[in-house]
């Protein structure tokens, strides 16, 4: 996790301080997902800009653990906090590439707002 003693982490992709995200929420999100060994883990959407003030937190997870698991059952593999509401986007790499190819509207919006959570995972 972020080694600072601040109560919030304020980061965007360029490293500038902009977007308040509570450290405890980051910790809970990451700890609830680590057991499936995610390949990629991102926050994206309004929570990246608005932090906890956003209506929900969009969480994007790529993991081979989802391979063969029905879409409606994948969230049950995660131990997510009850609040704030976490909207999950759970795919294998292959599924993501097929559903949202380069140049698709969702992919462009995702690329513009994503915050890589792997930077907060302790080795």
Asked if the model's pLDDT at residue 28 lies above 70, the reply is: yes
Q: Are 80 and 57 in contact (CB under 8 A)?
A: no
Q: Is residue 27 part of a domain?
A: yes
Looking at residue 23, what is its pLDDT? 75
Q: Is residue 1 part of a domain?
A: no
Q: Is residue 3 part of a domain?
A: no
Count of alpha carbons within 13 angstroms of residue 117, beta-carbon side? 29
Eight-state DSSP code of residue 102: T
Count of alpha carbons within 13 angstroms of residue 11, beta-carbon side? 21
Looking at per-residue confidence, does 78 or 49 come out higher? 78
CATH of the domain at 33: 3.30.460.10
Q: Is residue 2 part of a domain?
A: no
Q: Is residue 47 part of a domain?
A: yes
Looking at residue 10, what is its pLDDT? 45
Q: Is residue 21 part of a domain?
A: yes
First vs last C-alpha separation in the chain: 9
Structural domain total, the chain: 1
Mean pLDDT score across all residues of the chain? 80
Q: What is the pLDDT of residues 85-107, one digit of tens each?
A: 889 999 999 999 999 999 999 88
CA dihedral of residues 58, 62, 67, 73 (deg, nearest 10)? -20
Backbone CA torsion sign across 118, 113, 19, 16: positive
Question: What is the residue range of 98's domain?
Answer: 8-120
Residue of 58, 36, 41 whose CA lies nearest to 109: 58
Looking at residue 111, what is its pLDDT? 84
- The pTM of the full predicted model, rounded to 2 decimals, is 0.76
Distance CA 81, CA 59 (A): 12
């Amino acid at each position: 996790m972020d080694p600072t003693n601040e109560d919030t982490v304020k980061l965007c992709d360029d490293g500038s301080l902009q977007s308040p995200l509570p450290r405890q929420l980051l910790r809970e999100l990451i700890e609830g997902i680590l057991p499936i060994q995610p390949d990629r883990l991102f926050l994206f959407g309004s929570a990246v800009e608005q932090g906890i003030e956003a209506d929900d937190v969009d969480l994007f997870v790529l993991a081979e653990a989802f391979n063969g698991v029905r879409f409606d059952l994948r969230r049950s593999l995660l131990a997510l906090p009850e609040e704030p509401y976490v909207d999950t986007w759970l795919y294998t790499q292959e599924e993501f590439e097929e559903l949202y190819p380069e140049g698709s509207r969702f992919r462009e919006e995702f690329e513009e707002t994503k915050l890589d959570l792997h930077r907060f995972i302790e080795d």
